[in-house]
Amino acid sequence: MYKFTIRGARGSMPVSGREFNKYGGNTTCFSLATPQEMIIFDAGTGIISVGAELMKQRRLPGVTILFTHFHLDHVMALPFFGPLYHKSCQLTFMADPHRKDNWKSTLKTFMGRPYWPVELSECRAHLHYVDLPEGREGIDIAGVRIRWCPVWHPQMCLSYRLDLPKTSIVIATDREYGIKPMDEQFLEFCRGADIMIYDAQYTMREYPRHYGWGHGTWREGVEIAKEAGIRELVLTHHDPTRTDNQLDKIVAEARRKFKNVRAACENLVLHDT
C-alpha cells in the first residue's frame, strides 16, 4: 500500500478561521505511507496530524523526513511530532549537503534551548542524520525511487520526485522561475510525471511586487504541466491571506488553461493503492 496525503498546504505561516476551512491553514507537509515505513516531506504544522496517526499504531514504523529547505514554515512543527519522544521510533532526517549552512546544525539549533525546552539530542527516538547522496540517480526508500532537483528560492531549496510502483509525483513547494538553466533542468525533472504539486503563492498581478521572494504563480505551473506532460496539477503553498473563495476563483481561472488542476487541501489523498 502506498498512500500519499497532503497534510499542510499553506505558505509562510499557519492560519485559522472559517474562511480557510476548505483548504486548511496548516503549513507545508506531505506524507507517503508505505508497507515498510512512513516518508514525510517537510515539517510544517501539517506534520502534527501525521505524528498523531503514527502514535495510535500498535508498532511504530520507521520514519524518514526529507526537507526541501529550512525556512520556518517548513520546520516549525517538528517539536510537536509525537514519535520524536517515543523510544521505539527510528527516525531519519535527510537534506541537501550542498546548502551553504550546515543543515544538521540548523535543525539542532532550531529545536533546542532557548527556542524549545527539549534538545533534539534529548529526544527518546533513535535519530539519524543522513545527507542526500551525490548524483542524479536518487535513492530507494521502502520501494519508492526518490530524486531531487534544486529550484530557485532564497537560501536554496529542493524539489522532489517520487516514482512509485503505479504513479509518479513531483513536489515543488517553493519555486520561483526566471533562471533559464534551473528552469530547463526543472522541466526535464518533471517530464512525464503523473502529478505535480506546485508553488502558486502569487497571482500574476501580485508577482511583480514579490519578484525574488522565491515563489511562483498558477500560470507558470500550467505552462510546465502542459510542456512536461503532467496529468494533474495541484496548486500549493497558498498565501496566508488567501481565502477559500479566492482559491476557488484561482482554480476556476487555471482550469480554463489546463483542465485537470485543483488546489491542495489538507487531508487530500492524491494516491492510494
Instruction: Give how many domains the chain has, as a whole number.
Output: 1
Nearest CA to 75 out of 145, 157, 147, 130 is that of: 157
Query: Residue 137 — pLDDT band, cuts 50, 70, 90?
Result: confident
How many C-beta neighbours within 10 Å does residue 30 have? 29
Chain segment 9-61, per-residue pLDDT in tens:
999 999 999 999 999 999 999 999 999 999 999 999 999 999 999 999 989 99
Task: Read off the C-alpha cell for 119.
Answer: 534538545
Domain, as residue range, for 26: 3-272
Task: Read off the C-alpha cell for 44.
Answer: 510544517
Chain segment 60-83, per-residue pLDDT in tens:
999 999 999 999 999 999 999 999
Instruction: Give the CATH number of the domain where residue 177 resides.
Output: 3.60.15.10
pLDDT at site 213: 96
pLDDT at site 135: 80
CA–CA gap between residue 87 and residue 138 (Å, rounded): 30
Sign of the CA dihedral running 148, 149, 151, 156: positive
Chain segment 250-259, per-residue pLDDT in tens:
999 999 999 9
